[in-house]
Structure 1
Amino acid sequence: MKKITLDLGNKTPNFIGSWCIEPILICDDLISYFELNIAKQKSGYSGSGLNPEIKDSVDITMNPKDIILPGHEAFKKYFDQLFECYKNYVEEWTFLNKISEKLEIGSFNLQRYKPGQHFKEIHTERSSLATLHRIFAFMTYLNDVEEGGSTYFSHYDLEIQPQRGLTLIWPAEWTHAHKGNILKEGSKYIITGWINIF
């Protein structure tokens, strides 16, 4: 895990942590898992259900207990790295030490976007009684994207272009409303999910 400093202009602090996971080959292993498991792929759901007018993607949804299953070794490696990123995040925002032992990973998604697809609607990860347990969101871009496909945080006018291994953690609140900009070329793969309080 290597800490990354994003060029954020004058919109600081924005509480978006950024790192590059290592080894970078974890990203390739996760993409391979996605492509080899066609039967698990489904059209992407959002908080409003299945609606490609809001979220247009193909997802594999998994639970933390799935990480230990045979053939899922890449997920164990990934979450070991994500935990290192999270520990660094807590070091930066020490107040989080008061709640960090009450947090756990929830369900998570592997997602693929093709040209013309994206998460079209500005949204937040904590928006209803059903999502009150979400404290943070996390996302790792699994490949480089040259044309489109950026993540846009509207309140900060911040656009982040996908780079292989770039990992973000941010608060799940309305303060971090965001969307995915339209992918213009190639494919975009991510792994994303939530850190929940229990």
Structure 2
Amino acid sequence: MENFIRSYNAPSNVKCTEVIQWFEDNHKHAAEGRISGGVNKKIKESLDISISLKNGSQIPCMVNLLNFLWDGVKKYSEEFPIIKEADFGLIEDFNIQKYTPPAGGYKSTHFENESLRTCKRFLTWMIYLNTVEDEGETEFVYLGLKEKAVEGKLLIWPPSFTHAHRGVISKTEKKYIMTGWYSLIEPEIFID
């Protein structure tokens, strides 16, 4: 059965370690990881920096990563051409997240468009910024699938309940990800 999850590997010009270093250098801008109800460490324990596309595209270490993301979305669209019919874009801020052992991670099973505030999310994406050997996978619970955290791996998947997922907590290793959504947008209206 088709699971609609795709994985793409970053080219050599994408330097995930530089993004991790940028995160650590800018940790004063990090906030405790939030969920829709605020901070709840029983559900999600992380440090997050939220970045707009405009600001992210001005951070040198992120330019190649954002281009890689767009290339991945284009490949995904080629494989599932019906999505080219939708008007969507990277309009929400994306997040760089750090999960610190022994309890850091998104522990609760969740999906990405679970409220009116998030219902316009069209595609979910995540880039693993480091490799985690001791667990650290993303588990898609209804699909019986675990994706290993491998540096430079981009995952793209639908945001709906069919792709409910959670982080498998590594008790020994830090995990860094960059994640966000492509959301539906209003089509432009052209007047002649």
TM-score, normalised by the number of residues in structure 1: 0.89
**Is 2:93 the partner of 1:107?**
yes
Q: Tell me if the contact between 1:24 and 1:164 (Cα under 8 Å) persists in the aligned partners.
A: no
- Pairs within 5 Å for 1:33-182: 33-69=22-58, 72-99=59-86, 102-105=87-90, 106-116=92-102, 117-182=104-169
- Matches of 2:74 and 2:160 in 1, distance apart? 20
Amino acid of the structure 2 residue aligned with 1:57? S
Give 1:13's match in structure 2, choosing from 2, 6, 20. Answer: 2
Secondary structure at the residue paired with 1:155?
Answer: coil
Amino acid at match of 2:89: E
How many percent identity over aligned positions? 34
Deviation at 1:37, TM superposition (A): 0.3
- Matched residues in 2 for 1:24 and 1:187: separation? 23
Asked if the contact 1:111–1:191 (Cα under 8 Å) also holds between the matched residues in 2, the reply is yes
Q: 1:188 pairs with 154, 175, 179, which one?
A: 175
- Name the one with the larger helix percent: 1
Q: Structure 1: where are the runs of 5+ without partners?
A: 1-11
Structure 2, unpaired ranges of 5+: 186-192
Shift of 1:25: 4.4
Structure 2 Cα separation of the partners of residues 48 and 118 of structure 1: 17
RMSD of Structure 2 on Structure 1 (CA): 1.1
1:190 is matched by which residue type in structure 2?
I
Distance 1:25 1:80 in 2: 9
Judged with a 3 Å threshold, the aligned counterparts in structure 2 of structure 1 residues 148 and 32 are, in CA distance, closer, same or farther, namely same
Deviation for aligned residue 1:104 = 1.0
> How much does 1:24 deviate?
5.8
The answer as to whether partners of 1:24 and 1:165 remain within 8 angstroms in 2 is no
SS of 1:115's equivalent?
A: coil
Cα shift at 1:26: 2.0
1:145-168 deviation per Cα after TM superposition (whole angstroms, max 9, x unaligned): 011211000010101110011110
Contact map agreement 2:14 2:64 (CA 8 A) in 1: no
- The one of 22, 27, 41 equivalent to 2:11 is 22
CA contact (8 A) 1:146 1:185 kept: no
Give the TM-score taking structure 2 as reference length. 0.92
Length, aligned pairs only: 183
Q: Is the 8 A contact 2:135 2:169 kept in 1?
A: yes
Q: Which amino acid aligns with 2:98?
A: R
Instruction: Tell me which amino acid in the other structure corresponds to 2:147.
Output: I
